[in-house]
Structure 1
Amino acid sequence: MKNILRLFFTIFLMSCSSADLINNWKNPDIDVYEANKVLIVAMTNNEAAREKFENRLQKEYKSRGIEAITSYKYFDNEKKTEEDLLDIEKSLVADGFDTILFSKVVGSDSEYRLANTYKDIEGTYRDFKEEYFMYQDIYYNPEYYESYPIYHAETSMYCICDTEDRRLIWKGFVDVVDPNSVEETVDDYVDLILFAMEEQELLTKKKD
């Protein structure tokens, strides 16, 4: 019963969320992965969003007993060469990191929807001429449809363990649909990827 309630609660959360997990991939060579020290990297030119995103994930990892550090100590907004990145990776390994969680927006699109939403069945039109009259602006009014943005984002988990091959562990592909605010979008996105990583046994679930 507890699992059923959790499933319904999760479905409810996803239906109310601006973030949608389109697909995710897990390294087939890995069943369970336990990170010990994680660097959280959000690549965005929106500093407020970067700070909120990294801090929220840091808090979630720490609540599970996992050490997590935001990226500001290692990454500023200056462009890095491959040599710079190799030096940073060496520093991370020397500092005891074994995992990087890297998130970024990779593109965006616009979609269209009716400016006026559909009526429910109780309020729908019962007469052809009434319905035609109300919706004929489809022909004439360019503002009858309104556009809204969809941002395509990815979150990748990398192992940088000193004793193993440095490899991709997991990648999630997320669409953020018509975001209302930084706070809401960050919460929706983080909740979504946490759930996905828990289900893939890449992150310990919080104890109820």
Structure 2
Amino acid sequence: MKTKLVAIVLLLLMGCSSTRLVSTWKNPDIVLFDAYQVLVVGMTPDDGARVEFETRFVEELKKEGVDAMRSIDLFDVEFTASEKTEKELEEVEQQLLDKGFDAILFTKLVKTENRRTFQEHMNDIDHMFVRFNADYLEHQDIFYNPEHYDSFNIYHVETSLYCICIGKDVELIWRGDVDVTDPTNMEKTVENYIKKITKSMGEQEVIF
């Protein structure tokens, strides 16, 4: 009975969405980096998701005493609707510098991966088959039942912190890579993602 309960808990956990910080990188030339005015950019074609993400991230930064602004409030619809040249982006960087921004927090989806997991028969987890026909009959739907496997998506998301420094190119200060598995509640997923990113930045003494 105990074996069944443990297996049920494990399978339930596997079925839940998760947000996992996979790796971080910090510029070795930077010991501390204080940012006072940060532009939050969420790159996605979904305007609703972008608003939700940037709003939550700005709120979290302001809780920590960092002045932040959503890119959706700075860039008009036409800006993101067309491809930009390097010269145009350089002009944007200068405009941000003129407005007092000293950092850009840039988040984007870098890759989506589809995986499949094997569905176990819960009533047979601790049962051994001693006859071939019993074993075959119990598991024969492997051949013809597509629901015997669960498909789920893993989203590889990256957040990069860039310094807008006078007389310098926009320089990468910090980056965090996060895997988001099969998000079912977007609001909760965004909240977990932002908390993991801000916690890691704080531990590595960037922004906060």
TM-score by length of 2: 0.80
- How many angstroms does 1:183 deviate by? 0.8
Matches for 1:1-208 after TM superposition, within 5 Å: 18-75=18-75, 76=77, 77-79=80-82, 80-114=84-118, 116-117=119-120, 119=122, 124-129=126-131, 133-162=137-166, 166-204=170-208
Greater fraction of residues in helix: 2
Q: Give the aligned length.
A: 187
- Bigger shift: 154-163 or 71-80? 71-80
Alpha carbons of structure 1 residues 98 and 203: separation in structure 2 relative to 1, 3 Å: closer
Whose radius of gyration is greater, 1 or 2? Answer: 2
**Aligned-partner residue type, residue 190 of structure 1:** I
- How many angstroms does 1:131 deviate by? 5.9
Partner SS for 1:155: strand
- How many angstroms does 1:125 deviate by? 1.6
Partner SS for 2:147: coil
Q: Which runs of 5+ in 1 are unaligned?
A: 1-15
Separation in 1, partners of 2:69, 2:88 = 19
**Cα RMSD (Å) of the superposition?**
2.3
Alpha carbons of structure 1 residues 131 and 98: separation in structure 2 relative to 1, 3 Å: farther
Partner SS for 1:162: coil
Percent of matched pairs sharing the same residue: 43
Partner SS for 2:151: strand
- How many angstroms does 1:158 deviate by? 0.2
Alpha carbons of structure 1 residues 59 and 117: separation in structure 2 relative to 1, 3 Å: farther
**Does the CA-based 8 Å contact 1:137-1:144 persist in structure 2?**
yes
Separation in 2, partners of 1:172, 1:118 = 38
Separation in 2, partners of 1:23, 1:108 = 17
**Does the CA-based 8 Å contact 1:149-1:177 persist in structure 2?**
yes
Alpha carbons of structure 1 residues 53 and 141: separation in structure 2 relative to 1, 3 Å: same
Q: Which runs of 5+ in 2 are unaligned?
A: 1-15
- How many angstroms does 1:166 deviate by? 2.9
**Aligned-partner residue type, residue 125 of structure 1:** H
- Bigger shift: 134-143 or 39-48? 134-143
Alpha carbons of structure 1 residues 134 and 187: separation in structure 2 relative to 1, 3 Å: farther
